[in-house]
């Protein structure tokens, strides 16, 4: 009877040792391509959450006002570009080529007007 407990205990210890040691030898085989492909595409929600974090850091006085304003403006411009690309992608699927160029020019002119108004309001 003692031999049965000795054999079962040895098997349990060897199994535990295997599960503890095996990840160290198989860690190099895991492909790192999965997380990179998922994280490459930046979403609008991520941009807005970054702006919210910046605002929180500013309110907690972790960053200066100038840095906050500069970073916030950069993130807002990035979000505007992403929205522009998204809306243009939807609209351009249904428009002929010459109308696409006209719409591009109009969209860029509108964005420039909006940026000019924002800069005037700041200054």
pTM for this entry: 0.43
Q: Do residues 99 and 107 make contact, with C-beta atoms less than 8 angstroms apart?
A: no
> Which segments of the chain does DSSP mark as H helices, in order?
2-26, 33-40, 44-59, 65-92, 97-122
Q: What is the pLDDT of residue 122?
A: 76
What is the pLDDT confidence band of residue 36, given thresholds at 50, 70 and 90? very low
Cα diameter, the chain = 90
Q: Using the predicted structure, report yes or no on whether residue 95 has a pLDDT greater than 90.
A: no
Residue 6 phi/psi, 5° resolution?
Answer: -65, -45
Mean pLDDT of 97-108: 78
């Amino acid at each position: 009877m003692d031999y049965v407990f000795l054999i079962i205990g040895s098997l349990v210890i060897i199994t535990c040792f295997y599960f503890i040691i095996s990840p160290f030898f198989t860690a190099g085989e895991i492909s790192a391509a999965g997380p990179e492909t998922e994280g490459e595409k930046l979403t609008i929600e991520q941009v807005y959450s970054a702006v919210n974090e910046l605002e929180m850091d500013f309110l907690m006085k972790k960053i200066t006002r100038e840095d906050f304003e500069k970073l916030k403006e950069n993130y807002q411009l990035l979000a505007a570009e992403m929205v522009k690309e998204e809306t243009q992608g939807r609209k351009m699927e249904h428009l002929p080529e010459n109308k696409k160029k006209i719409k591009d020019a109009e969209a860029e002119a509108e964005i420039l007007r909006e940026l000019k108004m924002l800069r005037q309001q700041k200054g």
